[in-house]
Every structure is written in C-alpha cells, then in structure tokens.
Amino acid sequence: MSAGTFNPAPGAAPLSRQVVAHARMEARLMLRNGEQLLLAVVIPVIVLVGAVAGSERVGLQLDASAIDTFAPGVLALAVMSTAFTSLAIATGFERRYGVIKWLGSSPLPRAGLLAGKVLALLLVETLQVLVLGGVALALGWDPRATPVALLSALAVAAVGTAAFAALGLFVAGVLRAEATLAAANLVYLLLMAGGAVVLPASAYGGFGDLASWLPSGALGEGMRAALLDGAADVTSMLTLLGWAAVGTVLTARTFTWE
C-alpha cells in the first residue's frame, strides 16, 4: 500500500500536543465550574478589597500601605486556591468517577496527564494574575517592577504551585471525594485566616515565626519580599522546596488512580 493512502495517518498525536490539549481541557473545566471560579477569582478579589478597606477602619499597623502589603499576599492566596484546593477537589472527584483511570488507559501517559494538570494550573494562575493585578492597580498598588523583583515573584509562584499541587494530590489520593472536598476547603480557610498568606507573619505576633514555615506563610512572605521589597527571599524558597519534596514523596507512595 502506497504512502499517504490514509490521511490523516492513524496513530497517537505527539506527546506535546496531547499535553497541551489536556491542559486546555482541564483549564476550561476549572473555569466553567462555579465553585472553582469562586475559589480562583471571586474570593481573592473580595479578600483584597475587604482587606484594604478593613485595615483602614481597624487601624492595622503595617510597614507599607495597605494595598502594597495585601496585593502580594492575595496573589499568593490565588496560587494556593488553584494549586491546592481546586486541584484536590477536582482530582478527588475524577478518581471517584473513574476519569483518571480511563485517561490512564488512553495514549496520554501518566506523566503527560500530570504535566497537563500542571500546565492548566499555570494557565489559570496567569488569568488570576491579570484579574487581581488589574484590581490591585486600580486600588493604587505600586509594586516593585525591577527584574529581580519580577523574577523572584515568578520563582516563588512556580515553587509554591509545585508545593501546593503536590500536597493537593496527596489529599485527593488518600481520601474519598466528599472527604477531600471538606478537607481541602477547611485547610484553605484555616491557612487564609492564620497561615500568614494574606497578612504578613509579623502581624501574628509570636505565632508568626511558626506560620512563616507553613507553605502558605512561605509563599506569602516570598511574594511580599519580591513585590514589596524587591528582594529574593531565599528562606521562603527553600521552605517551599521542602514542602514540594515532602508532598511529592507522600503522593508517590499513597496516590491511587481510582
């Protein structure tokens, strides 16, 4: 049979194309889901506006203006909401309904499946940065825009995404879907309130020293160091790398595909 008889030629698409297609699907599903959109965009915007307005009324003592202090923290909160809470909930229900099992039997390898999920997270986080950054700028945010500051913020966000994604997959891999939903939302609320992600660790008094070692505190402090001080927080980066390593090991040992 001569070449070109079948057009297109049968066979799987290149891995890169499979990963991109899967990432697009994951991102669309995440943004079409009302609860996921609430976590990704609506709650961070409400927290940003409410924190700026509330700090002026309660007389919260901050080292910089309210918007300059809270904007980096809310960007960190957005990363946490997408990379941890949204990913954990979505993966938990995908396991329950056998979606991951069937995807695992497709031409897309498991490494490609995970790569697609990570790429989808980055796409959603890009949208979050555009929306939250626009709201913050409208409120008078004046971030440090030096090359060091921007590179540090990107690095912290990337490592924070890896850390929270690993922890989110760990939770989704060991709990039932309903338990994952409850646990992921509970952890999100606790870290948002007391994890030094929106407020600086110094605002928590003595507990702030402990909170800065949490993944939420490390992410928040790293983002503030970059966008508020224009510096790279090496301690926060190493802390996030440690959480990413711990989450990866736990996920690799406990995660089941159904």
- Model confidence over 161-210: pLDDT tens digits? 999 999 998 998 888 888 999 999 999 999 998 888 998 888 888 888 89
Residue 77 reports pLDDT greater than 80: yes
CA distance 77 to 55: 18
- Model confidence over 218-237: pLDDT tens digits? 999 999 999 998 889 999 99
Give Cα 25 distance to the centre of its chain: 18
Q: Could you say which DSSP state residue 204 is in?
A: G
Query: 81 with 188: CB under 8 angstroms?
Result: yes
Residue 6 reports pLDDT greater than 60: no
Q: Return the domain boundaries, the chain.
A: 15-254
Query: Is residue 155 exposed (0-12), middle (13-18) or buried (19+ Cβ within 10 Å)?
Result: middle
Residue 104 reports pLDDT greater than 70: no
CA distance 54 to 52: 6
Q: The dihedral of CA 244, 178, 258, 32: what is its sign?
A: negative
- State the pLDDT confidence band at 41, using cuts at 50, 70 and 90: confident
CA distance 180 to 171: 6
pLDDT, residue 56, reads 72
Could you tell me which of 91, 15, 56 has the C-alpha nearest to residue 254? 91
Query: 65 with 111: CB under 8 angstroms?
Result: no
